[in-house]
Amino acid sequence: MTDTATAEVRAPRPEKVETVAKIAERLRGSDAVFVTEYRGLTVTQLASLRNSLRPAGAEYAVYKNTLARFAVREVGLEGLEEILVGPTALTFVAGDVAAAAKALRDVSKSNPNLVLKGGALGATLLGAGDVAALADLPSREELLARFAGALQAPLTKTAGLLQALPRNFAYGLSALIDKQAA
């Protein structure tokens, strides 16, 4: 076998190179990525899972682990390689990370065949417990409502105090006039 023939055998197929590039691009464009094991899930259950993730801005995709490992290395998330074992799928989140984690957790509660393995939030690697902690966070809307309430509370008290000063002054003045008239 010549060096040319050996080089041709070792060269990856263009469709595999394209898939690795696609996965790497999706990893770079995502706010977070979660890794799950889907062994034993039916096509219907996978479709239901995908539908529950869509409102959170997440997409569930199955790739060959070898290709996913190449993409993970290319992006710089080498720690994810360890959990890319067995039948795994990637959930790419380009929206509400907590809502996507909740959707995965809810499906895994109702179907024990879906196992959360971990993931990455930006460049930070997450274990299965970290993903569960993300799922326990309140939604973005709820956090914004709490923040608005925290900002509003002191302003409401200040407004009440500012209203009380002239009102109490008017009551006191009225009482003084009534006293002098009697």
pLDDT in tens, 140-158: 778 788 888 888 777 777 7
pLDDT value, residue 36: 92
Q: What is the pLDDT of residue 1?
A: 47
Instruction: Spell out the residues 6+ positions from residue 100 whose beta carbon is closer than 8 angstroms to its own.
Output: 32, 34, 53, 56, 57, 58, 91, 93
Whether 23 and 63 have beta carbons less than 8 Å apart is answered as: yes
pTM exceeds 0.85, yes or no = no
pLDDT reported for residue 60: 92
Fold entry, domain 3-137 = Alpha-Beta Plaits (3.30.70)
Cβ–Cβ < 8 Å for 32, 100 = yes
The percent of residues in the chain predicted with pLDDT above 90, rounded, is 20
Cβ contact 111:37 at 8 Å: no
Tell me phi and psi for residue 120, to 5 degrees. Answer: -145, 140
For 80-138, what is each residue's pLDDT tens digit? 888 888 888 999 999 888 889 999 998 888 888 889 999 998 888 888 888 888 888 87
Contact 43/93 with Cβ under 8 angstroms?
no
CA 139, CA 119: separation in Å to the nearest integer? 19
